[in-house]
A and B are shown apart, each in its own frame.
Chain A
Amino acid sequence: MTPDNGGFATAAYILIAIVYGGYVLSLTLRERRLRQRLARLDTPSRQPSHRPAGA
């Protein structure tokens, strides 16, 4: 007789989706955070003025 263990198979597929889905989410969040840091570095820092004083 075929055993009734469908719940285990469903649980395995759900776990697989969580493991891979969680990793995709982690990659997306880490990349977003790095791009934000990079964008901050992109912002030009205030350059010292070369105009003579009082000009």
Chain B
Amino acid sequence: MTQQNSNIYLNALLKGDEKIIVKIYGDMLPKVVSFIKNNKGTQQDAQEIFQKALYQLTARVKIRDFEINTSFEAYLFTACKNLWRRELNNRKKEVRNDGVFELVSEERDNSNAVLEQERWELFEEKITLLSENCKKLLTLYFKKTSYKAIVEKFNYANENTAFQRVFKCKKRLADLVKLDKRFQELC
């Protein structure tokens, strides 16, 4: 049913079916507005991000034969969250460089955003293939938790054991990503 609904929405986007696109706005924009307003943004920001996400999604379907495996709503919300992080980062960069920043064409910027979303999906897909223990361990490790704290949390014998476990999980994840043909195109 979820896949079927996703296909209905994707087909509507491909055909530019205004009636269903209006429904997408009505059903899904409020959640995005709420997220963006709670994260330093405005209603107008949310609307722009939502439009970009729909625009870029359509390109993926047209050019890449992309299909959504989760629900359309979940996909769109994640894509909007990622685009908003990207936008906040770009705004910070503009402030840091005092108005001088790299000019990228609108087309190239949209293409980059599509590929960044694909990279995000590649990483998520590979993380789900790890054991639960590895996922927890890597989450702590990448959040810069000390090996000492990891030893305590996982009841490891010592920091060397923690290091060995983290290393194995990192290697497994890196190998999974690198073995995927998308790695060369996206990373």
The yes or no verdict on A and B being binding partners is no
